[in-house]
Amino acid sequence: MASDSGEEKTEEATPKRKRDERKKGNVFSSKDLTAAFFILGMFAMFKVLSQLILESLTDSMTYWIGVSGTGGDLLADGTFATSLLLRVGRTVAIAAGPLLIIGIAINIIMTGAQTRFVFSMEPAKFKISRLNPIEGFKKMFSLRSVVELIKSLLKIAVIFALVKSEIEQQLPMIMKLSEMDILPAAAYICSTTFSIAMTIGMVFVFIGILDLLYQWYDHNKNLKMTKQEVKEEYKQMEGDPQIKGKIKQKQREMSQQRMMQDVPTADVIIRNPTHYAIAVKYDPESAKAPVVVAKGADYVAMKIIGIAEENDVTMVENKPLARALYDKIDVGREIAPEFYQPVAEILAFVYDLKNKKLPFEEKKRSISDMRDEYPEDIVDFESK
């Protein structure tokens, strides 16, 4: 089915689309399946209560025949009129009440089981589009109309075939009905009718299951979306990609700005020589190993180098180490054990250059203490 814009609906409905349509009451169900269980339930209940219904009707008919013989004198009595209404009400309640209740219950249970008891007033709202004759004409010749016509013809054919077959089998007995008393004849007719109805009901259950599968297919087909609709829904749920891109760009700029503010605190800048720049800082008070406080490539690397020159931060050129640190260590993370030895050598060189003591010496930590604290594969910076 094509959309109003002419774009083909090729995409499966998203979970959000399904939820929205469900809230509107747009769900699938098979009326044929409900009707099949209605037939089975009603006739089964009628058979169970047939004796009670027959006795109630017989008692009422006997009573009415007796009353009719009084000439109508009792009808003028108000008390009798009230009693008469109560008797009529009781007879109707016994004869039709249980069937009415079971019929309503079957419809509620079957419809609820298929729709998962969704309730919405949306389908009951007035819509001017429903009065559009062109849309109505289109529905008359739609695939759904063809399917409904085929189902109707199939049901008529099934009913005709079953009734014809049953009558042919029971024809000898039917010919003898005129010779039977009224009660046995009525019992036979009810039994035959019940047999036909139950057979029709079982066949209709099969037709209803097929119809339910078709309704499911047609429902999902109608819910399909165009690619543009999927994009628009994604924008509504996740936000416009352009706006999200600008937000991410702004976040990167803010992160880069904070990173540049940490460059002056670095102990050394390891560079390559202009393509990569990694600012490394070691503070044993807050970290167990040196930390990359800033890193960048090309333009960002030049900015780091410029800030480092302004703040008299020592720079060391080591192309392999700079590239490796850039690729493997994120900003704010401690360096991996594989880089401990080369970084320790650089830090030792920088501290020696500035005539400063290494942090280990300032804390007066022994080599044995370091080995107790770190695994054996971790390089001891103090020994460098």
CB burial readout 197-233, b (16+ within 10 A) else e: bebbbebbbebbeebbebbeeebeeebbbbeebbeeb
The whole-angstrom distance between residue 218's C-alpha and the CA centroid of its chain comes to: 18
CA 161 to each of CA 70, 200, 201: distance values in angstroms, whole numbers, following the listed order = 50, 10, 14
* Pair 73, 134 in one domain: yes
Q: Which residues contact 123 (CB under 8 A, 6 or more apart)?
A: 24, 25, 26
Provide the β-strand partners of residue 8: 2
Does 7 map to a domain?
no
* Pair 125, 91 in one domain: yes
Does 154 map to a domain?
yes
* Pair 84, 20 in one domain: yes
Identify the domain boundary among 184, 217, 235: 235
Does 255 map to a domain?
no
Angle at 213 between CA 212 and CA 219, to 5 degrees: 85
Does 256 map to a domain?
no
Does 8 map to a domain?
no
* Pair 324, 205 in one domain: no
* Pair 229, 267 in one domain: no
* Pair 302, 221 in one domain: no
* Pair 328, 197 in one domain: no
Does 247 map to a domain?
no
Q: Which residue in 37, 40, 31 sits closest to 148, CA to CA?
A: 31
SS3 state of residue 198: helix
Q: Which residues contact 205 (CB under 8 A, 6 or more apart)?
A: 33, 36, 37, 40
Please report, in tens digits, the pLDDT of each residue of the chain (384 residues total).
444 555 778 888 888 888 888 888 788 888 889 989 998 998 888 888 888 887 887 788 777 777 666 555 555 555 766 777 787 888 888 888 888 899 899 989 998 888 888 877 666 666 666 566 666 566 666 777 888 888 888 888 988 888 888 888 888 888 887 778 877 787 788 888 888 888 888 888 998 898 899 889 888 888 888 888 888 877 776 665 666 667 677 767 777 778 888 888 888 888 887 788 888 888 877 778 888 888 888 888 888 888 888 888 888 888 888 888 888 888 888 888 888 888 888 888 888 777 665 554 444 343 344 445 444 444 444 444
How many domains does one find in the chain?
A: 2
* Pair 193, 329 in one domain: no
CA distance 202 to 251: 66
* Pair 164, 120 in one domain: yes
Q: How many Å from the N-terminal Cα to the C-terminal Cα in the chain? A: 75
Per DSSP, which regions of 248-361 are E strands? 268-271, 276-281, 291-297, 315-317
- Residue 306 tokens read as 């410029």
Q: Tens digits of per-residue pLDDT, 141-170?
A: 677 788 888 888 888 898 888 888 888 888
Q: Which residues contact 195 (CB under 8 A, 6 or more apart)?
A: 166
Domain CATH number, residue 293: 3.40.1690.10
Does 83 map to a domain?
yes
For residue 275, what is the DSSP state? S
* Pair 220, 285 in one domain: no
Identify the domain boundary among 185, 201, 235: 235
* Pair 31, 126 in one domain: yes
Evaluate whether 29 touches 111 at the Cβ level (below 8 Å): yes
Residue 164: which domain range?
Answer: 15-235
* Pair 266, 227 in one domain: no
